[in-house]
Structure 1
Amino acid sequence: MYDAVLLATDGSTPASRAFDRAVTLAIETGATLHVLSVVDVGDLDPFTDADIDAVDELLRDAAETAVDDAAERAREAGVDVVSTVRVGVPHREICAYADETAADVVVVGTHGRAGLSRALLGSVAARVVRTSTVPVLVVPPV
């Protein structure tokens, strides 16, 4: 049914819950699990040029750790894994990667924000749902 399952992760608790679902899908369908983390270019905006290299390195390290941890756990579960870190606008990079890899489904966690908090902060998961050309499985925090 699926050849490629894309897990978008930032290493958070909601992403960990999404990991469980993505691995289950990959195991049940024999799919390759693509683990992607996106360094959000928006996170670099508030910093001066002097700080930007250090912040960029920290953000890249965090993304690499999230991807490496998920990939290792998936391999331990017997799943074939491809891991990638990108820099850009998260929902755009997730959707572009899904298209490039012919992913059959994108799995993302959500922090479960609602109301004003969600409106002000936005939601990567919601944006992926709106812009993805493939089905998106959104895993709630509970």
Structure 2
Amino acid sequence: MPYQHILVAVDLTEECDPVIQRARDLSVSNGAKLSLVHIVEPMAMAFGGDVPMDLSQLQQQQFDQAKERLEKLIVKYPELTRENSHLSYGQPRQEIHHLAKEQACDLVVVGSHGRHGLALLLGSTANDLLHGAHCDTLAVRLKRAE
């Protein structure tokens, strides 16, 4: 069965281009709708949750920068629009699963560095996405810069 709606989850770095291109190729070959999502993680998660300072201003700056990068991707990839590009705040696994289910996506495409542990195969976000996924998940192997 061809895919109907593909969600590509990106980190908004230069490395996300091959992931978007793979998702775009799949959407064209399947005649599927293409949507994009980036998740801004709470800064407190990076510090284990207990932070003795207010990070709200830094968190807002991070969100604003993500919004700017997302706008650049929308310009670069015409099939992406503001309506099918999503910027969320939270834990990537939960937010991507929620959006994929809400949008009735049947494939999630994510990049994978594959660096450590089970991540030797998938990468931490890609590995996280596989657990509890209600649809197919494709991990696009990213090449390391030489």
TM over 0.5, yes or no?
yes
Per-residue deviation, residues 48-105 of structure 1 (Å, max 9, x unmatched) = 443x122111221232234323332221xxx254111111111110011000000010
RMSD: 2.3
Q: Which 5+ residue runs of structure 2 have no aligned equivalent?
A: none
State how far apart, in whole Å, the 2-side matches of 1:136 and 1:61 are. 28
SS at match of 1:131: coil
State how far apart, in whole Å, the 2-side matches of 1:25 and 1:112 are. 22
- Assess, with a 3 A threshold, how the Cα gap between structure 1 residues 23 and 7 changes in structure 2: closer, same or farther: same
State how far apart, in whole Å, the 2-side matches of 1:30 and 1:101 are. 16
Q: Is the 8 A contact 1:14 1:111 kept in 2?
A: no
Q: Which residue of 1 aligns with 2:91?
A: 89
The aligned amino acid for 1:107 is: V
**Larger RCO of the pair (alpha carbons < 8 Å, separation 6+):** 1
Pick aligned residue for 1:65 from 58, 64, 68 = 68
State how far apart, in whole Å, the 1-side matches of 2:57 and 2:21 are. 32
- Equivalent pairs, count: 135
Q: Which residue of 2 aligns with 1:99?
A: 101
Asked whether 1:134 is paired with 2:135, we answer yes
- Assess, with a 3 A threshold, how the Cα gap between structure 1 residues 33 and 91 changes in structure 2: closer, same or farther: same
With structure 2 as the length reference, what TM-score do the two structures score?
A: 0.79
Identity level (%): 27
State how far apart, in whole Å, the 2-side matches of 1:14 and 1:140 are. 10
State how far apart, in whole Å, the 2-side matches of 1:29 and 1:74 are. 18
Q: Which 5+ residue runs of structure 1 have no aligned equivalent?
A: none
- Assess, with a 3 A threshold, how the Cα gap between structure 1 residues 68 and 47 changes in structure 2: closer, same or farther: farther
Q: Which residue of 1 aligns with 2:34?
A: 33
With structure 1 as the length reference, what TM-score do the two structures score?
A: 0.81
The aligned amino acid for 1:141 is: L
